[in-house]
Structure 1
Amino acid sequence: MEPTAHWNFQTSVIDGHRYDIDGLNVWDFDWKSTGESFSANDPIYNNTIIVVVYEISSGTRSVQFGAVEVSNLIWLIYQKADNS
C-alpha cells in the first residue's frame, strides 16, 4: 500500500452529489480502479480505513483520486497532495 502522506482528505460526499476534481464531476464517469490503495485515518471516526485509488477520464484528461464508502452512500474523497 502507498503511504498515506501523499494523499489528503478532501471531503465527504453523498453518492451522486456533485463533486468536481479538475473540472470533472466524479459521478459523471465510470470509476476504474488503478489497483492501488492506501491506509488513512477516517476524519470522522478516527479509525484506520483502506482507500482505493480510482481514475476517471474525459478525452485526453484523466484524474486519480482515492475513495471509500464509509456508510451507506457516504463517500470520503482523497486527492494526491500535488494534485496529480
Structure 2
Amino acid sequence: MLISLAWKNVWRNKKRSLIIVLSIAFGLWGGLIAGAVMMGLGESMVNTAIDRDLAHIQIHQKGFLRDKEITKYIPDGLRVVEKAKKIA
C-alpha cells in the first residue's frame, strides 16, 4: 500500500520526475566515463614509461611483461645494475 502510494506521488509531477531520473542517469554515466578515462590514462602512462622512457635495456621480474603490474619490481635492482655494468 505504501509503495503504491509513493509510486503515484513520484509520477504525479512527470516532468520533475523525468528530470531527476535523467539527472541521476547522466551523473552515473559521467562517473563511469571519468573512471574509465582515469584508468586508461594510468595504463597509458605505465606503458609509455616502460616502452619509451626507460633505457635501451630492460630487466624485468618474471611475469612482468604479461601483467605489467608495478608491484612486480626487482627487490635489489642496484645489484643487478652493477652486474650489468660489469658485463658491458
Short-chain TM bin: under 0.3
**Greater percentage in helix:** 2
TM-score when scaled to structure 1? 0.20
Structure with max Cα Rg: 2
Higher RCO (Cα < 8 Å, 6 or more apart): 1
TM-score when scaled to structure 2? 0.20
